[in-house]
Amino acid sequence: MGKLWTTRDVRRHWKRQTTRIHRGDGAVREQKQAREAECRQQKRTDHPAAFQAALNLERECKRRWRVDPAKHADELARDAKSSQQRGLTAAAAETVGKMRQDMWQPQGVNGTEAVADYSALSWFKPDERIRDWPLMGSPAAVTSVLALYLMGCVVVGPRLMKDCKAFSMRPILIVYNIAMVALSVFFAYLTVKLAYFKSGYSLVCQANDSKTNPFWEVIFYYGWWYVMLKVGELLDTVFFVLRKKNNHISFLHVLHHTLALITVWLDVNLAIMGQVALFPLLNCSVHVVMYSYYALAALPPSIRPNLWWKRYVTIFQIAQFFVLMVHSLVPVFKDCDFPRPFAVFMALEAALFFYLFSDFYVKNYGSQKQGDSSTKLKGQ
């Protein structure tokens, strides 16, 4: 059969994945090229068939949601037509086991070993590299934030403000909306730079490369801040409560903010990259337009421009959800090496909001309605 990769060989090959990225772009490119050359040399000197079979086996296990390579190898061995194929399958399973053990068990958090879990629900477990970050890991923290948000803005807040005078928050709203515009531009720029330029992502079908992307730490660092941005966007509803705009706290508004935070939190917490990169890009692009509108609407009437384009903000959001729905369905029907359950979840979420925002548009702008809508649109 030839010599399998040793633990040292595997560690050398995968070292780049667990190296902290605090170097310049030139150093990253040089190390990537050196790693690729080393990999080619390893495949020439070691047993190429066993290594290639191991990669194929690992890819198939990921596609089937982390099925145990040993169990999957047993299935393949039973279907093998020759003893040579059965031996190659066993060698591939052994190589995958070494790769996984060497990659993750020594890299546990706080000196503990990371135990592999190949159960059907293992993808719900936080990634070992970021589970100790604030708000990451256990869902208790984000659940508490959402519980406070729903109780405070839907139940308690409106009752407390019932007999109080509405707050005039014009300066705060102007600053808040301008800050949201700036942050949306910043995160859209980061997505294009890190995902589509540096990582070379495909716009159509992109694998989840969180284990191999050399920029994973930078991406998830800013991904965590993107989660914090979604937490900050909950202030949209808080401002409605303080201004006694209870008619704006609609089912669509509350559901949109809640699911937006849950989706982004799951994305970062489970270390899902690749196909999901289009979401922050489109979402931030829409927010640039949307929060620009709200910043202008918060200006005093004497200097406020004519905001005739309000309905087009809604159209922009409807188009966003349609594109995200179609884009999320690609990994469902095509082998993109991307988690299909998460792709289905994103497609269903986009379809839900495509319907709800379309219904909002028809009710408020359909049938030649030209006046201000009775329910104010608030985006994600």
Annotated active-site residue 253? The verdict is: no
Task: Identify the active-site residue in 256, 257, 287, 327.
Answer: 256
The alpha carbon of residue 75 and the mean position of all alpha carbons in its chain are separated, in whole angstroms, by 33
CA distance linking residue 251 with residue 314, whole number of Å: 16
d(CA 222, CA 364): 37
Q: How far is CA 191 from the centre of its chain?
A: 11
CA 285 – CA 380 distance, rounded (Å): 11
Measured between alpha carbons, how far is 204 from 371 in angstroms, rounded to an integer?
A: 39
Kindly state the DSSP code that residue 4 receives in the 8-state scheme: P
Place of tokens 């937490």: 231
CA-closest candidate to residue 199, choices 217, 184, 226: 217
- Within 8 A by CB and 6+ apart from 266, the residues are 272, 342
Q: Per the structure block, which two tokens stand in for 120? A: 């059907």
How many Cβ atoms are within 10 Å of 245's Cβ, its own excluded? Answer: 14
Structure tokens at 122: 């293992």
The residue among 136, 133, 134, 135 whose CA lies nearest residue 125 is: 136
**Hey, which residues are catalytic here?**
256
